[in-house]
Amino acid sequence: MDIRRYLQTIMQRGGTGLAEELGRHLDEWSRRTGISVETWALPAGRVPQRVTDAVLACLAEALSNVEKHSGASVVSVAVTVGASGLRLTISDHGRGFLGRASGRGVVAMSAHLAAVGGRCAVNGTPGGGTTVSGIVPAAALRGP
């Protein structure tokens, strides 16, 4: 199953905690691509389903870029939920890129997080890797 289909499936199922969905998703992706995933942290609590969906959609695009563009053999993923909100970091030590990332994927990642009140940035260093950083402010985490 490709990554988008997989995400749609788990999103439709709904009702599962973000940590559980992330863990399952990352295992599947790592098995398929042969790229190791280092998980720095996982959210302890529950977040609204629409935020889970947005975070997973952003993560899917970031991982597809790691697979397609980075050449990296390891990617680090951190998702933490704290007083300031939810933070998402996807970081690889692959080939990186020069200048601003501009493409449909980068626009889509920002749009997914903007839809739940958050934002996202993609930073590359040529030869030094790429980091995607996203945040969803605490106010946007309230609700069902």
Using CB under 6 A, which residues numbered 82 to 141 contact ligand ADP? 92, 94-97, 101, 103-106, 122, 124, 130
- In Å, what is the CA distance from 34 to each residue of 14, 25, 66, 72, 78? 27, 14, 12, 10, 19
**96, interface contact from Mg ion, ligand ADP, none, CB < 5-8 Å by kind:** ligand ADP
Report the residue number, 45 or 128, with the smaller CB distance to ligand ADP: 128
Residue 91 contacts which entry, ligand ADP, Mg ion, none (Cβ below 5-8 A, type-dependent): none
Kindly report the number of other CB atoms within 10 A of residue 128's CB atom: 12
Interface residues with Mg ion (CB under 5 A)? Answer: 65, 105
Which CB, 25 or 93, lies closer to ligand ADP? 93
Shortest Å, Cβ 65 to Mg ion: 4
Cα 68 vs. chain centroid, distance in angstroms?
15
Give the closest residue to 69 by CA, choosing from 88, 94, 89: 94
Does residue 29 touch ligand ADP according to CB under 6 A?
no
How are strands ordered across the β-sheet holding 36-41?
36-41, 74-82, 85-92, 129-137, 119-125
Task: By CB under 6 A, name the binding residues for ligand ADP.
Answer: 65-66, 68-70, 92, 94-97, 101, 103-106, 122, 124, 130
